Chains A and B, each alone.
Chain A
């Protein structure tokens, strides 16, 4: 009996079911798999009973859940999601819990200056209950000295060497102060921290931070909480192309397409908070961001087509019959 599986003819002897065909392709990994026979979807619970006939066309489609992709690895540590969540601006702990679940985030960053680590029933408990890992950050620090102190306090309180390093220049823009940032990064690396610096979208500074021993670089797309998206995609691309440590786009994301663009530019991950926590429906936006990060990553791996000024027909025009 001849059938056509994903456009290729196959010969089977005797009776064959959809389940057997799927097994022959995918063993038993059926997550995210859909099957159509002669353009009709066959629900999974009918696979075992659905017998194929001679010349049936079978399409087996796999939704790639980043399945072909390598996980994000920072400082030798596998991170479960390329979307890293911040907690600033959450309207309530209940919303935080929902947002973390919907985002699928593994790493979650918490400002140590704003949250008392010893307080029970607070943000840190919610993060842990959601199965996420806490990445302390130094938000609110304006000097290298304050950032280093905060990182040390975080290590003491939370027992982690990881620190998201923020050294802010002024409250109005919340832009990083490059000089203080590099100084703090050097000192913290020297003290054995795994340093993830929030930096300007400056390729030179990013390189200097990497040379200083940072485990990743986290350039901004636009100022924190501005929701302006990625204002200088060319710089982000330069940073990505130079870096040999992971590049995480941090700050400026306003909506899902911004996160997708970051990933299409080749960033290894996206860190965001306000875009989700201050949305009208934070949980929905968190789910959107998870999909956007995944979609952007897949598009990056897939390799986009070049831009052209003029059209290029998607079906070949050669050999088309001429009429008249």
Chain B
């Protein structure tokens, strides 16, 4: 029987573990703190269209395909586990505050239309009709009906349950060495034998001993805030992405009185400390656009480290015998979990990966191999 060990128990590692176990493969997932890395810190936006940027067309195609897979992925997961993961088809409303912000949003909207994406320009009044809590000074917006969300923490917990149900061995431990084709050795000396090692350790994939190379993954710090209010009077329905004086923020409404406000993007290495400036700037920009946010409770300041790669795309594919990389998902780990798990399954089964995954292989970086 095929044996697989997955290094990393975040959303990617758990989704991979689940899919592998479903194949009847003997599967283990190793992580010292499963589900408590970037997956826990994320906001859970499934927003390929409103996050589309110049020069990243291939990544957009990958994101769109994974977003398309999401409803089935979630339905199967919820059926298996009996848990609810907060997949909400809420849509995303991008809004602009000043003339300069409107110009920037117009440029993005033209780009979205050029790519054939679904996104509708709205004047000030239409925007406020959709989200009455928006400040009257908001000048314009773009409605992206296909950009949804999932509650990332519930998703990770459900994936862990699904893994257990499918017989995945969860090992809370540190990997001391990867031995491609043979398995991994743990810090406590234990050997986990396997034919395939899947590296899904986020930014820590860079320093995993035994790979023989250094995957070009770096930690990119993100800070975000969890906010709360009375679920009977929700501040917003949709995800609001605000453009304020050249800066931007997003506020994800979970629909039950919980909100996620994010996020900073900081090149600060492994620093996990929350900062006053980040809290201030996020709240200031959000309150300028949604003055009612002043009344929300501040529940939590969350700091996470995204696994960033040189071109912002994931590193997804086989490197030599018995070794697969599924890391470097940067801002898109939650979104890309379904297609990543499917791709890894295909690699190990020896069948072609989804076409959108091609071009995201490790061989595109000279550091690998």
Shortest B90–chain A CB gap in Å is 27
**Is B217's CB under 8 angstroms from A116's CB?**
no
Given A114-B267, A172-B245, check contact A121 B312 (CB 8 Å).
Answer: no
Q: Would you call B230 an interface residue if the criterion is a C-beta within 8 Å of the partner chain's C-beta atoms? A: no
**Is A123's CB under 8 angstroms from B267's CB?**
yes
Q: For the complex, what is the distance from the CA of A97 to the CA of B270, rounded to whole Å?
A: 22
Residues on A with beta carbons closer than 8 Å to the beta carbon of B309? 93
Contact of B267 among A91, A116, A225, A281 (CB under 8 A): A116
How does the 8 Å CB contact mask read for A202-235 relative to B, with 1 for contact and 0 for none? 0000000000000000000000010000000000
Q: How many residue pairs at the A-B interface have CB separations less than 8 Å?
A: 54
Q: For the complex, what is the distance from the CA of A114 to the CA of B268, rounded to whole Å?
A: 7
Q: For the complex, what is the distance from the CA of A121 to the CA of B219, rounded to whole Å?
A: 9
Q: Would you call A282 an interface residue if the criterion is a C-beta within 8 Å of the partner chain's C-beta atoms? A: yes
**Is A116's CB under 8 angstroms from B271's CB?**
yes
Residues on A with beta carbons closer than 8 Å to the beta carbon of B56? 91
**Is A121's CB under 8 angstroms from B311's CB?**
no
Shortest B233–chain A CB gap in Å is 32
Q: For the complex, what is the distance from the CA of A97 to the CA of B309, rounded to whole Å?
A: 13
Residues 23-55 of B at the A interface (beta carbon under 8 Å): 53-55
Residues on A with beta carbons closer than 8 Å to the beta carbon of B55? 91, 95, 280-282
Q: How many residues of A contact B (CB 8 A)?
A: 22
Given A91-B312, A119-B219, check contact A225 B269 (CB 8 Å).
Answer: no
How does the 8 Å CB contact mask read for A265-284 relative to B, with 1 for contact and 0 for none? 00000000000000011100
Contact of A92 among B245, B270, B310 (CB under 8 A): B310
Given A121-B218, A122-B218, A282-B55, check contact A94 B269 (CB 8 Å).
Answer: no
In the complex, the chain A residue whose C-beta lies closest to that of B216 is A121
Given A114-B266, A116-B268, check contact A93 B219 (CB 8 Å).
Answer: no
**Is A92's CB under 8 angstroms from B206's CB?**
no
Tell me the interface secondary structure of chain B in the complex: loop
Q: For the complex, what is the distance from the CA of A153 to the CA of B322, rounded to whole Å?
A: 45
Which of A95, A97, A114, A121 has its CB near the most chain B CB atoms (within 10 A)? A121
Residues on B with beta carbons closer than 8 Å to the beta carbon of A97? 310
Residues on B with beta carbons closer than 8 Å to the beta carbon of A122? 218, 267, 269
In the complex, the chain B residue whose C-beta lies closest to that of A118 is B269
Contact of B54 among A91, A93, A121 (CB under 8 A): A91
Residues on B with beta carbons closer than 8 Å to the beta carbon of A91? 53-56, 312
Shortest B174–chain A CB gap in Å is 20
Residues 242-282 of B at the A interface (beta carbon under 8 Å): 245-246, 266-271
Q: For the complex, what is the distance from the CA of A93 to the CA of B219, rounded to whole Å?
A: 13
Which of A122, A126, A172 has its CB near the most chain B CB atoms (within 10 A)? A122
Contact of A121 among B53, B217, B268, B271 (CB under 8 A): B217
In the complex, the chain B residue whose C-beta lies closest to that of A226 is B100
Which of B216, B217, B219, B246 has its CB near the most chain A CB atoms (within 10 A)? B246
**Is B54's CB under 8 angstroms from A281's CB?**
yes
How does the 8 Å CB contact mask read for B273-309 relative to A, with 1 for contact and 0 for none? 0000000000000000000000000000000000011
Q: For the complex, what is the distance from the CA of A118 to the CA of B218, rounded to whole Å?
A: 12
Given A91-B54, A91-B55, A225-B246, check contact A119 B310 (CB 8 Å).
Answer: no
Q: For the complex, what is the distance from the CA of A92 to the CA of B219, rounded to whole Å?
A: 13
How does the 8 Å CB contact mask read for A87-100 relative to B, with 1 for contact and 0 for none? 00001111101000
Q: Would you call A120 an interface residue if the criterion is a C-beta within 8 Å of the partner chain's C-beta atoms? A: yes
Shortest A251–chain B CB gap in Å is 14
Q: For the complex, what is the distance from the CA of A93 to the CA of B245, rounded to whole Å?
A: 25
How does the 8 Å CB contact mask read for A66-100 relative to B, with 1 for contact and 0 for none? 00000000000000000000000001111101000
Residues 125-161 of A at the B interface (beta carbon under 8 Å): 126
Shortest A178–chain B CB gap in Å is 23
Residues on A with beta carbons closer than 8 Å to the beta carbon of B217? 121
Q: For the complex, what is the distance from the CA of A49 to the CA of B271, rounded to whole Å?
A: 65
Shortest A197–chain B CB gap in Å is 23
Residues on A with beta carbons closer than 8 Å to the beta carbon of B270? 119
How does the 8 Å CB contact mask read for B208-220 relative to A, with 1 for contact and 0 for none? 0000000011110
Q: For the complex, what is the distance from the CA of A166 to the CA of B118, rounded to whole Å?
A: 42
Contact of B310 among A94, A116, A281 (CB under 8 A): A94
Q: Would you call A115 an interface residue if the criterion is a C-beta within 8 Å of the partner chain's C-beta atoms? A: yes
**Is A120's CB under 8 angstroms from B266's CB?**
no
Residues 265-321 of A at the B interface (beta carbon under 8 Å): 280-282
Given A119-B219, A280-B54, check contact A94 B267 (CB 8 Å).
Answer: no
Q: For the complex, what is the distance from the CA of A115 to the CA of B267, rounded to whole Å?
A: 5
Shortest B248–chain A CB gap in Å is 12
In the complex, the chain B residue whose C-beta lies closest to that of A120 is B218
Q: For the complex, what is the distance from the CA of A93 to the CA of B111, rounded to whole Å?
A: 22
Q: For the complex, what is the distance from the CA of A123 to the CA of B216, rounded to whole Å?
A: 13
Q: For the complex, what is the distance from the CA of A120 to the CA of B206, rounded to whole Å?
A: 10
Shortest B250–chain A CB gap in Å is 18
Shortest B275–chain A CB gap in Å is 11
Q: For the complex, what is the distance from the CA of A120 to the CA of B220, rounded to whole Å?
A: 11
In the complex, the chain A residue whose C-beta lies closest to that of B281 is A171
Shortest A115–chain B CB gap in Å is 5
Q: For the complex, what is the distance from the CA of A46 to the CA of B55, rounded to whole Å?
A: 41
Shortest B289–chain A CB gap in Å is 16
In the complex, the chain B residue whose C-beta lies closest to that of A111 is B267
Residues on A with beta carbons closer than 8 Å to the beta carbon of B206? 120-121
In the complex, the chain A residue whose C-beta lies closest to that of B271 is A116
Q: For the complex, what is the distance from the CA of A93 to the CA of B269, rounded to whole Å?
A: 14
Which of A92, A93, A95, A172 has its CB near the most chain B CB atoms (within 10 A)? A92
Residues on A with beta carbons closer than 8 Å to the beta carbon of B111? 280
Q: For the complex, what is the distance from the CA of A126 to the CA of B267, rounded to whole Å?
A: 13
Sort A-B residue pairs by CB-CB distance and give the 7 closest, nearest first.
Answer: A119-B269, A121-B218, A94-B311, A116-B269, A94-B310, A93-B310, A116-B268
26 contacts between A and B (CB under 8 A): A91-B53, A92-B310, A92-B311, A95-B311, A114-B266, A114-B267, A115-B267, A115-B268, A116-B267, A116-B268, A116-B269, A116-B271, A119-B218, A119-B267, A119-B269, A121-B217, A121-B218, A122-B267, A122-B269, A126-B310, A172-B245, A225-B246, A280-B54, A280-B55, A281-B55, A282-B55
